[in-house]
Amino acid sequence: MDKINWIQVATGFLSGGAFGALIKQYFDNRRNRIQPVGYSIDLKPFYNSANTSIASTHITLNDGTTDYKFSNLYTGTIEIINSGLADYSEFVFGISLQAGNNFIQNKTTTKDRHHQVEISNEPTLTNQTNTFDITLKPFNRKDRYVFDLLLTSSNLNIQSNTVVLSTSKPVKLTEISTTTDTIIAYANRTLFDITKELVIKMVRIC
């Protein structure tokens, strides 16, 4: 199987009259499945008083009027990408933290002004929260949004599984690599890749 010349096979397969119907059936079947939405979570310690040699140390953040002291801070990046075949004019999902942890800041990155984000219960220094909801407008195929977060924790260590994504949409949330190139590649399967997959399935059937 490894010695198959996939270029020759794909060329012959594409020239066949049945290809159009087969590829349409393939995409119809994929669209009828529960669609995947890929995401990644990356957390890094920013400040931890337990790692200092000075007792009772804190880091102070200011919102312009008030000082807020923290003994344990983390930075986090959450990326979400529509890796399925469905387009959504709106896509609502939530981000939650386990008890004892709070979000205190969020910065959102979108690819252009036509991709908007609405946040309910947005975390700030004055609204430290362990849950908030996000509406993406739109969330079309291959669309990608990035959320840079600042977190505080009462625990000495916080892991990526402390952060939970959820949605009421009929999709499958799938954790993937934190490498942006890998995330994009996950959503960018080519027609050649699909053709190769179809040919392999036909060979197995025969």
> 155-176 pLDDT, tens per residue?
767 777 889 999 999 999 999 8
Residue 71's DSSP bridge partners are: none
Sorted by where each starts, the structural domains of the chain and their CATH numbers stand as 35-189 (2.60.40.290)
The whole-angstrom separation of Cα 149 and Cα 73 is 11
> 92-104 pLDDT, tens per residue?
999 999 888 999 9
| 149: helix, strand or coil | strand
> 11-57 pLDDT, tens per residue?
665 565 555 555 555 555 555 678 999 999 999 988 665 555 555 67
Residue 106's DSSP bridge partners are: 149
Residues 6+ apart with CB under 8 A from 168: 92
Please report the pLDDT score of residue 204 as a whole number: 53
The more confidently predicted of residues 106 and 183 is 106
Residues 6+ apart with CB under 8 A from 68: 60, 61, 62, 104, 125
Give me the amino acid identity at 177: S
Q: How far is CA 163 from the centre of its chain?
A: 12
| 52: helix, strand or coil | coil
Average pLDDT for the chain? 79
